[in-house]
Structure 1
Amino acid sequence: MRTVTMLGTAMMLAACGGAPEQPAATSANAQGQAPVPPTPPSPPAAAAKASKTTIKNDSYSFDYTYPAKAAAIAPLARWLDGQREEMKVELDKDTAEFRAEAKAGDFPFRAYESTVAWKVVTDTPRLLSLSAETWAYTGGAHGSPGYDAVVWDKAAGERLKPTDLFTSTDAIQTAIGTAFCAEIDKQREERRGEPVVRADDSFNACPKVDEATLILGSTDRQMIDRVGLLVGPYVAGPYAEGVFEVTLPVTPALLSAVKPAYRDLFRAR
C-alpha cells in the first residue's frame, strides 16, 4: 500500500514538471525489498538521582544520603557507596560485639544509631564541594554529632580533602586563626551569657583550625571566596553548648596559603 502511494505521488510531481529524486529506500522498494526505516534518536541519558539508604533492625538504625550532583560523578559516587558499605560492615561487627558484652555482663543492649547526610556546599566550574553532617550513638549516655568534607576536582578527576588545596594547615592557621578564634569567642559568649576568659582548658582555649572541619564555599558559584569551619562537641565547649559553625571570607592572606595549582580557583574578598 505504501509503494502504491509513493508511486502515485511521483506521477503527480512528474505531471507538474519533474520527478522527485528517489531515496535509497524507494529504490529498494522498486526491487521488491522492504523499506529501511530511519534510525530512531537515542533516548536522553537518565538524570542522576540523589542516593538514600535506610536500614533499621534490632541492632541499629543507619541512614546514608548523598545528593544528585555527587551521584552524577561515577568515581565519586563509587567512593561514597564504598564509605557507606564500610560503615554498614562496621555497624554489623560493633553491634554484634556489644550485644555479646551486654549478655555476658547482664546489662541492657541499646541499639546503635548512625547517620551521614552529604550535601552540596557549592558547585563551581572546576570544583564540587561537599560537606556531611554525621550522628553516631553507640549505647552511651548520648549521641555525638560530627562533620566531614570532600572536594571533587572535575578537571583532574580527583577527590581531595579541602585542606589538600592549601600549602599546609599551619599556613591556614596563620591566615585565619585569629579571625576564627574571635568568632568562636563571640558564639561562646552568646551561649554562656558572659565573656570568655582565656584559659588552657579546651572549653576556654582558642581552638585550632585543624580541630575543625574545613569546607570550601562560594557566593557566586564561580570562585571559592569563603570558607567554613565546623566544630564538633568538646572542641570549643562542653557537650551542652553543641556545635559551632564559622564562615570566613577568603582574605589575601588565606589566598596566599592556597597551592599555586589551585590559586586561580579562589578569589579574595
Structure 2
Amino acid sequence: MRAPLFLISLALSSAACSDGAEYAEKAGVGETATTTANAPTGEDSAAEPYSSEEETDRYQFAYSWPSEVAGEPELAALLRTKADAMLAELRGEADEDWNSAAGQEWTPRQHSASEEWKVVADLSGYLSLSGHLATYSGGAHGMYGMQSLVWDREAAVAMKGIELFNSPVALEQALGKRLCDSLNAEREERRGMKVEEGSEDMFDKCPGLDEANVLVGSSNGRTFDRITVYFGPYVAGAYAEGDYELDFPVTASVIDAVKPEYASAFSVNR
C-alpha cells in the first residue's frame, strides 16, 4: 500500500541532507507517471465516495470525499473544481522547481499535495465537513491543516463554518474566557510549563478566531450543538507543537452569535 502523503512529507523532512535520488527511494517514487481514480459510476453513484491519486517523479497528489458529498451533485462539482485547481498549482510549482534545477548538480524533492474531506455532521438541511490538507514543496518540512465547509442543502451554497456566525469577534466574545483557558491548558500540557499571563511572546498570546477554522458538529443528529476551534501550525504555537483542536458545547451565548437565518439549525448542548 502506498504511504499517505503526510507520511512521505515527514520522511522527506527528516532527511534534509539527502540527495534527490535518496528522496525518491524513501518515497517510493518510480519513473512512470500513474493516475488512479475511484469516481462514482452506475445507478448507485450517489452513495459512492470519490478518490483520485496521481503520481510522477515530480509530484504526488491525492483528493477524496465521502459518499455524503457524492449525494450532493453541486457540492461534488465544487470540490472537483477545488481538486483541479490544487492539482494545477501543484504541477506548476513542481515544474518550476525542476526547470530551475535543469543543468544543476541537484535534483528537487518530490512535491506533494492532498486533501481528504470527512463528515463532521449530517443534518437534514446541512452537511458539515472538515477538509484535511497536507502539502510538501521541498523545504525542511511539509505543512498541514484543516478547513471547514458547510453545505446548505436548500440554498445549494457552501460556506465556512465561521460564516454561520455574525462575525469571528461575535463568536469569540460568546466563548469568552473558555477559549483562551482551553488553549493555554493544551499549551501547558505540551510544553510542560505554564503560559505566563501578559507574555508578549507571539505563541503565548491567544489568537483571534479570524486566525482559526471553526467546525460545527452535532451530538444529536438534528442540530448543531458543538463547535470545534482549530488553530493550525504556527498559529498558536511553534511548528513542533503541532496544531490545536479545541471542542466546545454550544451554549445560549454561542447561539446569540449565530446569524438569524441559521439560528434554527443550532441548539444548546444538554
- State TM-score, norm by structure 1: 0.81
Superposition pairs of residues 160-175 of structure 1, within 5 angstroms: 160-175=159-174
Partner SS state of residue 92, structure 2: helix
Tell me the residue number matched to 1:20: none
Tell me the residue number matched to 2:95: 96
Tell me the residue number matched to 2:120: 121
8 Å CA contact 1:163, 1:169 repeated in 2 = yes
Tell me the residue number matched to 1:64: 63
Answer 1 or 2: higher relative contact order, Cα 8 Å, separation at least 6: 2
Q: How many residues align?
A: 227
What is the CA–CA distance in structure 2 between the aligned matches of 1:144 and 1:45, rounded to whole Å? Answer: 36
What is the CA–CA distance in structure 1 between the aligned matches of 2:101 and 2:170, rounded to whole Å? Answer: 47
The answer to which of 158-167 and 220-229 deviates more is 158-167
What is the CA–CA distance in structure 2 between the aligned matches of 1:139 and 1:263, rounded to whole Å? Answer: 45
For residue 128 of structure 1, report the CA deviation from its aligned partner. Answer: 0.3
What is the CA–CA distance in structure 1 between the aligned matches of 2:103 and 2:148, rounded to whole Å? Answer: 39
Tell me the residue number matched to 1:245: 245
8 Å CA contact 1:114, 1:134 repeated in 2 = yes
Does 1:143 pair with 2:139? Answer: no
Alignment deviations for residues 129-188 of structure 1 (CA, whole Å, 9 cap, x no partner): 000111111100000111111101112221121122111111111111421211110111
- Counterpart of 1:151 in structure 2: which amino acid? V
8 Å CA contact 1:177, 1:208 repeated in 2 = no
Tell me the residue number matched to 2:202: 202
Partner SS state of residue 196, structure 1: coil
Tell me the residue number matched to 1:268: 268
Superposition pairs of residues 23-38 of structure 1, within 5 angstroms: none
Partner SS state of residue 194, structure 1: coil
8 Å CA contact 2:116, 2:131 repeated in 1 = yes
- Give the superposed CA RMSD: 1.6
The answer to which of 47-56 and 98-107 deviates more is 98-107
Partner SS state of residue 100, structure 1: helix
- Counterpart of 1:136 in structure 2: which amino acid? T
Gaps of 5+ in 2: 1-41
What is the CA–CA distance in structure 1 between the aligned matches of 2:231 and 2:103, rounded to whole Å? Answer: 37
What is the CA–CA distance in structure 1 between the aligned matches of 2:103 and 2:180, rounded to whole Å? Answer: 47
Partner SS state of residue 246, structure 2: strand
The answer to which of 238-247 and 203-212 deviates more is 203-212
Partner SS state of residue 101, structure 2: helix
For residue 268 of structure 1, report the CA deviation from its aligned partner. Answer: 1.6
Tell me the residue number matched to 2:216: 216
Tell me the residue number matched to 1:17: none
Aligned residues: percent identity?
A: 37
Partner SS state of residue 267, structure 1: coil
- State TM-score, norm by structure 2: 0.80
What is the CA–CA distance in structure 2 between the aligned matches of 1:148 and 1:104, rounded to whole Å? Answer: 40
- Counterpart of 1:175 in structure 2: which amino acid? A
What is the CA–CA distance in structure 1 between the aligned matches of 2:228 and 2:268, rounded to whole Å? Answer: 15
Tell me the residue number matched to 1:110: 109
Partner SS state of residue 81, structure 1: helix
Alignment deviations for residues 91-146 of structure 1 (CA, whole Å, 9 cap, x no partner): 11111111122236644301111110100001011110000111111100000111
What is the CA–CA distance in structure 1 between the aligned matches of 2:215 and 2:246, rounded to whole Å? Answer: 10
Gaps of 5+ in 1: 1-42
8 Å CA contact 2:174, 2:257 repeated in 1 = yes
What is the CA–CA distance in structure 1 between the aligned matches of 2:144 and 2:213, rounded to whole Å? Answer: 12
8 Å CA contact 1:177, 1:209 repeated in 2 = no
8 Å CA contact 2:90, 2:112 repeated in 1 = no
8 Å CA contact 2:45, 2:70 repeated in 1 = no
8 Å CA contact 1:112, 1:139 repeated in 2 = yes
What is the CA–CA distance in structure 2 between the aligned matches of 1:56 and 1:159, rounded to whole Å? Answer: 30
What is the CA–CA distance in structure 2 between the aligned matches of 1:183 and 1:71, rounded to whole Å? Answer: 36
What is the CA–CA distance in structure 1 between the aligned matches of 2:101 and 2:176, rounded to whole Å? Answer: 45
- Larger Rg, first or second structure (1 or 2): 1
